[in-house]
Amino acid sequence: MNKKELIAAVAETTGLTQKQVGVITNAIFAELTQQLSQRERMLIRGFGTFDVADRAPRTIVHPGDGKKM
């Protein structure tokens, strides 16, 4: 399911217009993005937790020429 399909499904379930649901969905994603950009954790009970995790860099090998990247 992509964002457009999500908006359509929520609109059908709630009886709101797709435009209204789109505004709400965009606001939720914008706030989530803002919190994560500030390295804040976001917990939505019953759904999940969003946070930023640092990972060590990896070295990979290019399959075409075998060079390490």
Give residue-wise pLDDT tens across range 57-69.
999 999 999 898 8
pTM metric for this prediction: 0.71
Let me know if residue 67 belongs to a domain: no
- Select from 47, 15, 53 the least CA-distant residue to 28: 47
Let me know if residue 17 belongs to a domain: yes
Let me know if residue 34 belongs to a domain: yes
- C-alpha to C-alpha distance for 48 and 52, rounded to whole angstroms: 14
Give residue-wise pLDDT tens across range 24-52.
999 999 999 999 999 999 999 999 999 99
Let me know if residue 56 belongs to a domain: no
Residues 6+ away with beta carbon under 8 Å from 51: 36, 40, 41, 42
Q: Is 68 within 8 Å of 58 (Cβ atoms)? A: no
Residue 18: CB atoms within 10 A of its CB come to 15
Domain count, the chain: 1
Let me know if residue 19 belongs to a domain: yes
Let me know if residue 30 belongs to a domain: yes
Domain that holds residue 26: 3-50
Res 69: pLDDT? 85
